Amino acid sequence: MTVSTASTVTVRVLLFGSYAEAAGQTSLTLSVPAPATVASVLRLLRARADGARLPERPLCAVNLAHARLDTAVSQGDEIAILPPLAGG
Amino acid sequence: MSFLSDQPLDLGALVARVTAPERGGIACFVGVVRDHHEGRRVLRLEYSAYDAMAEAECARIASEAEAKWDVRVALAHRVGTLEIGEAAVAMAAAAAHRDAAFAACRYLIEQVKRRVPIWKREYFADGTVSWVEPRQTARPAEAPAEARPGTPPPPDHTGHTDWGV
């Protein structure tokens, strides 16, 4: 468990489908400078090998609901990066 | 209520859940695995989901349909490996009359495809395997349904023309 200070928020990031395959993992924990948004999580993720192949504007969810890139992210949130949906 | 299932879908059970004496029209839609994709022969599909969010999103979609129209709805989506002809998604919408039933059923499938986090891998006859990645025509959290080409809200007699989230 990563300890976060007041100046960072620690979030759990989930990867699915082709994104998980490309990253070689399905989940990771990130500490992001506060105040954090989905976009800042993506920036940090993209700087790592895990997220280097993510598209510019992937679909994202925060705590089980679709989110925008400017959606605020809080300590303990679950951020999911979603490949193009293919249900049905 | 669980919307995801790794067992064959039972349309009859969904219909039974929405049937009531005052509802004279039940519209159903079943999406099945087809044997081709862009000219290539498909052997089977493997569906996976972000389970917790898929359940939450299906529940939201069902609630929206029941708020927009005077209907009762039921839906289910399969996960796991599906052979050609097997049902991947099934739904039923029951209303007093057919217009609301069809409109609600159409809403369910369009919103499921647009919003529910489910993915599939295609196994082709030539031995290759690939993720199905449809061109994303809208971001569920940002784009209103009206802005999407290709899915014009059909006129109905309920006064509901807003397919937005």
Task: Quote ipTM for the complex.
Answer: 0.91
| Closest to B47 in 3D by CA, of A16, A4, A35 | A16
Which of A81-85, B59-63, B109-113, B135-139 bottoms out in mean pLDDT, i.e. has the lowest? B135-139
What's the pLDDT score for residue A1? 53
When the pLDDT of each residue in chain B is averaged and rounded to a whole number, the result is 87
Segment of A56-60, B46-50, B137-141 carrying the highest mean pLDDT:
B46-50
Name which residue leads in pLDDT, B84 or B149: B84
pLDDT-based confidence at residue A2 (cuts at 50, 70, 90): low
Mean pLDDT across the stretch B8-25? 98
pLDDT-based confidence at residue B71 (cuts at 50, 70, 90): very high
| Closest to A66 in 3D by CA, of A82, A54, A53, A77 | A82
Backbone angles phi, psi at A21, to 5 degrees: -65, -45
Q: Which residue of A has its CA nearest to B117?
A: A85
DSSP codes of every residue in B24-92: -EEEEEEEE--SEETTEEEEEEEEEE-HHHHHHHHHHHHHHHHHHSSEEEEEEEE-EEEETT-EEEEEE
What's the pLDDT score for residue B133? 85
Q: What are the chain B neighbours of A12 within 8 Å (beta carbons)?
A: none
**B57-to-A22, B27, B53, B124 alpha-carbon distances in Å:** 26, 21, 6, 30
Burial class (CB in 10 A: 0-12, 13-18, 19+), A12: middle
Q: Check if A57 contacts B (Cβ < 8 Å).
A: yes
Compute the distance between CA of residue B113 and CA of residue B89 in angstroms, rounded to an integer: 10
What's the pLDDT score for residue B34? 95
Q: Which residue of A has its CA nearest to B60?
A: A65
Using the beta-carbon criterion (under 8 Å), do A88 and B89 form an inter-chain contact?
yes
**Which pTM does this prediction carry?**
0.87
Q: Which residue of B has its CA nearest to A66?
A: B141
Using the beta-carbon criterion (under 8 Å), do A87 and B142 form an inter-chain contact?
no
Residue B162 has pLDDT above 50, yes or no: no
